[in-house]
Amino acid sequence: LGEIPVTPRPPEFLACPEAWVGYNRVCYYLSRDEGTWEQARDRCSELGASLAVLSDREMGFLFRLNDNLDYWLGLRRRGERFQWVDGSSYNSSLEVLGNSECVYLADNKLRSEDCSKQLPYLCSNPQPHL
């Protein structure tokens, strides 16, 4: 009785920390420093996030954003398959190029590289549904 209509907040008002980019209820951090895949994973943890776990839609968004830098993603090879750092399987139609273990975002493609390569990285921090 007398329910108050809840107006969903427009996504552009997502409260992301300074220097983070919000999209689709996730905050992304595009690093300015570089590190190995493991260092990148640890840095993202320190920021309260993880190396980025992306859906196809989010990849499309990041391709538009990525200012021609390469970024480590939270994706690495596990045997024959790729797996995201949150434990979910990689099931995108986007092919990962190369036969190395760790995956990064490069000019609208996903490429794999030796995990010891120094690259900038991309963290993601999904926002709780309020």
> Does the model's pTM come out above 0.75?
yes
Beta bridge partners of 82: 77
Range of the domain at 85: 19-126
Domain count, the chain: 1
Q: What is the pLDDT of residue 90?
A: 94
Nearest to 124 by CA among 88, 78, 95, 82: 88
For the domain that residue 37 is a member of, what is the CATH number?
3.10.100.10
Higher pLDDT, 24 or 71: 71
pLDDT in tens, 36-83: 999 999 999 999 999 999 988 888 888 777 667 899 999 999 988 999
| Residue 1, in any domain of the structure | no
| pLDDT value at residue 81 | 92
Is the CB of residue 27 less than 8 Å from the CB of residue 124?
A: yes
Whole-number Å distance between alpha carbons of 116 and 104:
12
